[in-house]
């Protein structure tokens, strides 16, 4: 993978002894003399894309090649890795003269960051180490806080689309992807219950998808009442 700058500073030296290359960066925000310079040892097959005197920021790539998204996320945070993933996907489509709208890629990236690993369950129903959906994590924390209890502590994870699908709350949705047997067996053992609130699980069983007029239980009855008032109860809602 490409070398990623962990600090903001200036490249002061690039060494090459024939076996490995070393990039030395002088940090702008070092708190002590010992932390002022940071050395990055890279594979000699990589081409260095910075030169002595270049300014680098946290998360900048200093060599050719693709960055490891997990490492980039740990070093530079969500915004930087999101931009990187979207940019790399766009390159593939542009290479084939098939540009794609950014909004579609943002939806994919949002799903990749939609899982949280519980670090401390405290007074919630979660277990330490459990991977849950962001919405469920927030919901259970609000319930705990409303009851005057301690909410859970968690860490946002970067997962691939397949892994995200397999950790979905809906076991029917998860079973539509890989490892079908494992998903079905685990939910059979734990007596899993599917609330059928997502698109995938409703499509699988032929239900009306929860979108538009089928979005929620609260929306449709409210609209029925409005129609009845306007047409004195003689109209039908489809």
> Would you tell me which CATH number, out of the four given (2.60.40, 2.60.120, 2.40.50, 2.115.10), belongs to the domain 9-68?
2.40.50
- Domain boundaries, given as residue ranges, for the chain: 9-68, 79-111, 114-196, 208-238
CA distances from 44 to 4, 26, 63 (A): 15, 21, 10
176 near 166, Cβ under 8 Å? Answer: no
CA distance 201 to 134: 19
Going residue by residue through the chain, which has 238 residues, state the pLDDT in tens, using 9 for 90 and above: 889 999 899 999 888 887 888 999 988 876 555 568 888 998 888 889 999 989 999 999 999 989 999 999 999 998 999 999 999 999 999 888 888 888 999 998 998 998 999 999 999 999 999 888 898 899 999 999 999 999 999 999 999 888 887 777 777 777 777 777 888 888 788 787 887 777 888 888 888 888 877 776 654 444 444 444 444 444 343 3
**So what's the pLDDT on residue 117?**
92
């Amino acid at each position: 993978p490409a070398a990623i700058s962990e600090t903001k500073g200036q490249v002061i030296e690039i060494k090459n002894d024939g076996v490995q290359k070393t990039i030395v960066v002088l940090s702008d925000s070092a708190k002590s003399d010992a932390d002022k310079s940071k050395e990055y040892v890279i594979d000699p097959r990589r081409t260095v894309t910075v030169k002595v005197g270049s300014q680098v920021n946290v998360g900048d790539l200093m060599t050719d090649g693709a960055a490891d998204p997990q490492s980039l996320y740990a070093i530079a945070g969500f915004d930087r890795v999101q931009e990187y993933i979207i940019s790399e996907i766009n390159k593939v489509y542009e290479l084939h003269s098939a540009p794609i709208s950014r909004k579609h890629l943002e939806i994919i990236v949002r799903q990749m960051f939609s899982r949280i690993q519980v670090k401390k369950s405290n007074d919630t129903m979660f277990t330490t180490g459990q991977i849950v959906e962001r919405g469920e994590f927030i919901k259970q924390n609000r319930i705990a806080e409303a009851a005057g209890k301690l909410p859970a502590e968690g860490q946002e994870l970067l997962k691939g689309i397949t892994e995200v699908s397999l950790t979905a709350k809906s076991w029917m949705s998860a079973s539509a992807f890989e490892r079908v047997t494992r998903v079905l067996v685990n939910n059979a053992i734990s007596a899993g219950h599917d609330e059928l609130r997502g698109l995938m699980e409703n499509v699988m069983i032929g239900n009306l998808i929860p979108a538009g007029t089928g979005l929620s239980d609260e929306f449709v009855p409210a609209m029925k009442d409005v129609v009845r008032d306007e047409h004195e109860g003689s109209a039908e809602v489809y």
